[in-house]
Amino acid sequence: GQLPQVISRLFPFKRGLCHAYWAPNFWALYNAMDKALTILGLKCNFLDGTKIPKASMTGGLVQEFQHTVLPSVTPLATLICTFIAILPSVFCLWFKPQGPRGFLQCLVLCALSSFMFGWHVHEKAILLAILPLSLLSIQRAKDAGIYLILATTGHFSLFPLLFTTPELPIKILLMLLFTVYSFSSLKSLFRREKPLLNWLETIYLIQLVPLEIFCEIIFPLTPWKQHFPFVPLLLTSVYCALGITYAWLKLYISVLTERTPVRQKAE
């Protein structure tokens, strides 16, 4: 009698495009764009407010929702998007083999692509991409920079899962220890090369600090908490989705534009 429950968990097609807390992927940005267009449409009287469901997609409920302005996404659409996103990395592995390093790159890109476009993706799935990328980060400075962005943003995106007050100092302390160690060790490893992050990437990561202060300290003290309790989750998901999408694109560009070393044949 438990088989239907197992199948529903493995293939959660009736549980909606996103989890109750949006995983920071492409669909989080898609949902945010739909909400922004809905608000703009109401302000400009392009939409009828009586026909728009309240708290759609941001009510914290695990169920199917329809987008208001943008086309609603089906499981088949996410499957096609995931397949298209994975295909270039597989072709690259097949036609431009790079040995173990090329396999790791393909593994990371497949994991990230599934996270970016999958149906009802859980936020913890980002760890499936961070772990193998850590092995690549010690080989090249470019991969180290991508790893720092993905690891910092991905770990921060897991903060809402630890939401109780006693867990707050623990998760912040562990995050700081891991981040400081990662930055210092990789910077020491590639000290003779250019900085691992450019100024824009550095600013993006620094902004995670005021975001956490707002979500954990400022927002609970405002009257908005009673009417818009999902705002901290929304801000965290969308902001982290920007960084994870950027890391995914940067890694893909790096892999696709990387030159295959020419093997000299012995005469």
Residue boundaries of the structural domains of the chain: 124-257
Please tell me whether residue 54 adopts helix, strand or coil conformation.
Answer: coil
Taking CA atoms, 215 is separated from 163, 222, 246, in Å, by: 11, 11, 23
The torsion angle over the Cα atoms of residues 182, 185, 188 and 193, rounded to 10 degrees, is -40
By C-alpha distance, which of 153, 152, 134, 145 is closest to 199?
Answer: 145
What's the pLDDT score for residue 56? 53
By C-alpha distance, which of 166, 165, 135, 131 is closest to 151?
Answer: 131
161 contacts: CB under 8 Å, gap ≥ 6:
21, 123, 124
Count of C-beta atoms within a 10 Å radius of residue 213: 11
- Alpha carbon distance 132, 154 (integer Å): 14
**pTM for the model:** 0.89
Kindly list the averaged pLDDT for each block of 10 residues, start to end, along the chain of length 267.
64 68 91 90 77 56 69 91 96 90 95 94 94 95 97 96 91 96 96 92 97 94 86 94 98 86 44
What's the pLDDT score for residue 261? 57
Contact 118, 18 (CB under 8 A): no
- Alpha carbon distance 24, 234 (integer Å): 9
- Alpha carbon distance 205, 133 (integer Å): 18
Phi, psi angle pair for 67, to nearest 5°: -70, 155
What's the pLDDT score for residue 152? 98
70 contacts: CB under 8 Å, gap ≥ 6:
30, 33, 34, 37
What's the pLDDT score for residue 4? 67
